Structure 1
C-alpha cells in the first residue's frame, strides 16, 4: 500500500469537522490504492467472482478498506454498520446491460465517546457481466446520521438514488417476478 498519513493527522487538521476529515482520509486512501488492490489480488478476486458472482465486490472492498478499519480501531472510532455499510439497505442502479452499475451504501461513524460524527457514504462502481471495477470508488460525507435523514439527503443528491429500491425490496420484487 502507498504511504498515507494516519487518520489522526487528518482529524487534527480538521478538528471542527471530523466526518469531513475521515472522508478526506478514506478518499486519499482510495485514490492511492484502489487499482493496486485490484492488480495485487486479481486472481483471488476473479476466483471469488467465478465462485460467488457479485460477492467478489465485497471481497474487493474488504481488501481495499482493511487499512481504514485498522485506523478506525486505533482511533477508537466505530462505524455502524461495519464500514462500508449494510448491503441490505444499499441501493443500486446502472446500465441496462449491467456493465456500468453503482451501489451506494453507508455507515454512521461514532467517536470514542459514542457521539455520532456523521455518515460515510461509499459509492462502488462495478460490472455484473464480469469482475470489473470501471472507476475508483467514491466517498461522500453526510452530516445526518439516522437512516431516514441519510436517505433524504442522498435522494436530493441523486435522482437515481431516490428512484432505486433498497436491496431487500429489490430482491423481493425479483423473487415475485420469478413466480409470475
Structure 2
C-alpha cells in the first residue's frame, strides 16, 4: 500500500475549503491504493462474495478506507456515519445485466472545533454476477450536510441518482413483489 501524506500536513498545505481538501486527499489515496487493496485481499474478498454476496463490497470499502479513518481520528475529524456511508439510504442503479452497477453513499464530516465541514460521497462501481470492481471508486465533496440537501445536490448532479430509490425503499418493494 502506498504511504500517504498525513492528512494534517495535507490540509495545512492546502488552505482552501476543508471539505474540498479532504475530498482531494481521499481521491488521491483511492487513486493510488484501490487496486492494491483488491489485489492484496483478493482471496478474502472472493470468499466473502461466495458466502455473503454483495456484502463483500462493503468489506472492500472498509479495507480501503481504514487508513483514512486513522488519519481522521488523529485530527479529531468525525465522519457520520463511518465512510463510505449509510447503506440503508444509499442509492444504486446500473445496466440490466447487473454487471456494471454503481452505488452512491455519503458521510457528513465533522471537525472537532468547527462543526460540520460538508459531506463526502463515495461512488462504488460493482458487479452483481461476480466479485468485480470494474472501475475506480469516485469521491465527491458537497458543502451540504443534512440528508435532504445532500439528496437534492446529488439529484442535480445525476438524474439516475434522482430516480433511484433508497436501499430500504427498494428492498421493501422487492419483498412486496416476492409476496405476490
- State the distance in 1 between where 2:11 and 2:170 align: 38
TM-score by length of 1: 0.98
- State the distance in 2 between where 1:113 and 1:167 align: 33
- State the distance in 2 between where 1:179 and 1:152 align: 33
Q: Contact conserved, 1:10 with 1:24, CA < 8 A, in 2?
A: no
Q: For 1:25-70, what per-residue CA distance to the aligned partner results, in whole angstroms no more than 9, with x for missing partners?
A: 1001101100000000000000000000000000000111100000
1:13 Cα deviation after fit: 2.5
- State the distance in 2 between where 1:162 and 1:14 align: 32
Q: Runs (4+) of structure 1 moved beyond 3 Å?
A: none
- State the distance in 2 between where 1:79 and 1:4 align: 19
- Is 1:28 the equivalent of 2:41? no
- What root-mean-square deviation, in Å, do the aligned CA atoms of Structure 1 and Structure 2 show? 0.8
Question: Equivalent residue for 1:2?
Answer: 2
Q: Contact conserved, 1:14 with 1:20, CA < 8 A, in 2?
A: no
Question: Equivalent residue for 2:178?
Answer: 178
Question: Equivalent residue for 1:77?
Answer: 77
1:7 Cα deviation after fit: 0.7
Question: Equivalent residue for 2:108?
Answer: 108
- State the distance in 1 between where 2:16 and 2:22 align: 12
